[in-house]
Chain A
Amino acid sequence: MNLTAGDLASLNGDRGLAHKMAMTILVRMLPAFGTERLLDITAAHIDSSLYQGDATLYYAEKLASLGAQVVVPTTLNVSGVDEHGWQRWAVPPEWADKARRQMMAYQSMGCKPTWTCAPYQESQRPALGQQIAWGESSAVVFANSVLGARTERYPDLLDICAAVTGRAPAAGLHLEANRRGQVLFHLKGIPARLQEDDSFYGVLGHLIGSRTRDKIPVIIGLDVVPSEDQLKALGAAMASSGAVALFHLVGVTPEAPTLAVAFGKRQPERETVVTKADLRLARQALSTARDEALDLVVLGSPHFSLSEFAKLCGLVSGKKLHANVRFLITASRVIRAIARQQGYLVALEEFGASVTVDTCILTTPMLPQTVRTLMTNSAKYAYYAPGLLGTRVIYGNMEDCVRSAIRGRVTLDDSLWDT
């Protein structure tokens, strides 16, 4: 091991028991990261806030009771409960109580109570080249790819060790040499109209993630400049079907001004041509049902942005949700507050939609058993709902979701995807 005097002091307990516990875990992890040293980080995003059972709560309360305090600006990911709104759904009180205790434990360590998987939509963004330690797979891929900050895909429980010590393994995507592209995805013959559609990005991400695993994909052949919401959806989908922590979109993302820069001096290990037919199959794979009665439409994984609130508002204003369908948006407290100020929430409430904050349908047991079929514009929700919730799922764009919610039955517009 190649530890600094400061690291050794932490390890010996000279900086208190919390530092000692965090540093012990970090140091024991160095072989798995393939490194012998740590480096400084200047910000953290903590996914450990998510209550998963007694073990994660015990871990949080143990660190807190040992006096853990973060030493860098630190935001918090979603928690296991909508702290003030859980009673409106099917969350068991015991779960709510424990999830809230876990929230309090991390707040007591000096983390900001942001409770969002999309901290980049509201908090100060890390800068290009900044060394950070982030958890939450969708946030990690956004930070690395879209912002050009440098983080590994930190597992829950390790992110807080980095925040408490200000140190992280000097490995992986922290190092310039490891950030070049590895595999090439070449889009061919994809109509611009399809490229402009939001649902295209979840589908493309799903396809790339499932074929890339943990490699760094480089994408060429896109004719449009995607919006930030679209880049968010693309990364989140890749980080669900694969372990992608960084992608390069040539001409769009900051470390890929050209194909040559994206790959450095290396050749792609593999080139994959992506056609409309491939995308059609990937789109089908994201849905496990079709043409069914609908119980729930859920939007907002990663958490809904202000621009998504604005778009949804335009789609639903003056319309009415079908009596048999619930319509849910998952977002952060801050974005919901701004959406309210902008007047978006009134229109959504008149339509019949509701907003849950702090958490999402995958991380809190909020959905009643009667929800058997849900529809979403999120590839991440679509990917995880069948396993985590046992529901059938249909993936569509926001327009499909709204149309279906009004009609009470799944109604997909396939025209963009047909040959």
Chain B
Amino acid sequence: MGHIIEGTVLVAGVAEGPVLASSEPLSFWGGYDQRTGEIIDRRHPLSGRVAAGCVLAVPASRGSTTTTAVLLEAVRCGMAPIAIITENPDTFLTLASVVADELYDKPIPVIAAEGGFMSLRSGQHARVQADGRIVITD
């Protein structure tokens, strides 16, 4: 079984991998270990999970304005999620990918899934397409 989410492209790209999803927003600063890809916000439901190599689905970032710098450093270290799906457009996560592109030619796809966000679950498999479509298989 599967379905397709029609998302809005914020940074275009393709990626395919397991979904790591939560309905709780995440601050990368204080919430994400840029050297290991582990989610370290001990108050977050995904605490202890490693998001590197995953399609990370969180509704938004929150908290510190340093979130962008942490995600950028994670991209440099190869420890960022392979794609990020948010509910509405998120400027912090989008910016990290835009700057990763400008500095290192290493953008990661960032998609706003809007209504489709709620259907994302950890353990699903996602194929993110350059046109913003996300093909989900359970």
Contact = CB atoms under 8 A, between A and B. Distances in A.
A240 B68 contact: no
A136 interface: yes
Contacts of B69: 48, 50, 52-53, 55-56, 156-157
Given A28-B98, A155-B67, 8 more contacts: A33-B89, A62-B103, A136-B65, A156-B67, A158-B95, A243-B63, A387-B42, A388-B29
Given A157-B68, A214-B60, A214-B62, A53 B34 contact: yes
B30 A137 contact: no
Given A25-B95, A52-B34, A156 B102 contact: no
Nearest to A158: B95
Interface stretch (B13-21, B49-57, B72-80, B117-125): B72-80
A34 interface: yes
Contacts of A140: 65
Given A387-B40, A388-B30, A155 B102 contact: no
A241 interface: yes
Interface of A: 21, 24-25, 28-29, 31-34, 47-48, 50, 52-56, 58-59, 62, 135-137, 140, 152-159, 213-214, 239-243, 285, 288, 362, 383-384, 386-388
A133 to B, nearest CB: 11
Contacts of A29: 91, 94-95, 98
Contacts of A241: 63
B6 interface: no
A48 B10 CA distance: 22
Contacts of B102: 21, 24-25
Contact of B65 (A34, A62, A153, A387): A153
Interface of B: 8, 10, 25, 29-31, 34, 40-43, 60-70, 72-73, 75-77, 89-92, 94-96, 98-99, 102-104
Contacts, number: 123
Contact of B63 (A53, A135, A137, A285): A137
B96 to A, nearest CB: 8
A136 B34 CA distance: 20
A243 B61 contact: yes
A154 B42 contact: no
A15 to B, nearest CB: 17
B25 A55 contact: no
B72 A56 contact: yes
Contact of A156 (B40, B66, B76, B77): B66
Given A48-B69, A53-B73, A243 B62 contact: yes
What are the 10 tightest A-B residue pairs by CB atom distance, in nearest-first order? A53-B73, A155-B68, A243-B62, A32-B94, A52-B69, A384-B30, A55-B76, A156-B69, A32-B89, A155-B92
Contacts of A50: 66, 69
A113 to B, nearest CB: 19
A378 B94 CA distance: 30
Nearest to A140: B65
